[in-house]
Amino acid sequence: MTFFFAEQERIEKQTLSSAGIIDFQDIPDTFDDLYVLLRVKGTFPGSNNGTMSMRFNNVATQDYRGNLNFLRTDGLLNSGVDSTALTFDLYEFPCGALVQANATVDFTVNELIVPRYRESGRNRHFYTLGGSTFGPEDTVNTTWSFVAAGEMNSTTAVSRIQIGGFVGSGSAQGNLQSGSTATLFGLRNPL
């Protein structure tokens, strides 16, 4: 998903020194698109894997819709989180998978794109893909990949992006683990 046709400029890199969320604030409005590269792991207890979620502009109300799908190396396709068709019924975007805290596998790697994040008169969108060696049965070390897309019912320019373990109620299900990193890039289309 890396956009090689675009000029990239690193805006900010965050590495969590303790459990928490990634929170990019005061994003400049001088780019065409935004690109986020993540290497994250969740703090979910026990054998629970979690869903990584994203919010724009600190909005935690039912103004999002989207879907998240997983594909396992053995061909199994799982639908993760889905909105009801054409309904803004989610409190945040489902944008990836989080490996549980006690898993013996590496961090999840994820790429996010927020196209035309400052353009007026259109709803905000995002696209993502990523993968990790994990799964509900963890001991199998199954490799999963995931893809997600979503839309926010707002035409306000994106100036803040929060990424964490939020779930349907809008509250946090779990944080990102210490050592999780995210780098925010601004992209300019040279054409």
Q: 3-state class of 92 per DSSP? A: coil
Nearest one of 174, 157, 60, 149 to 96, comparing CA atoms: 149
| pLDDT tens sequence across 7-20 | 899 999 999 999 88
Q: In the predicted model, what is the mean pLDDT of the chain? A: 76
Residue 147 in tokens: 């893809």
Report H helices in the chain. Answer: none
What ranges do the domains of the chain cover?
A: 7-140+154-188
* Residues β-bridged to residue 114: 34
DSSP 12-37: EEEE-SSSB-EEE-S--S--SEEEEE
Rounded (to 5) percent helix, strand, coil in the chain: 0, 50, 50
Rounded to 5°, the CA angle 11-53-17 comes to 55
Q: 3-state class of 150 per DSSP? A: strand
Output the pLDDT for position 2.
47
Report which residue type is found at 70: F
| pLDDT tens sequence across 79-91 | 555 545 556 677 7
- Return the residue matching tokens 């929170």: 23
- The more confidently predicted of residues 30 and 62 is 30
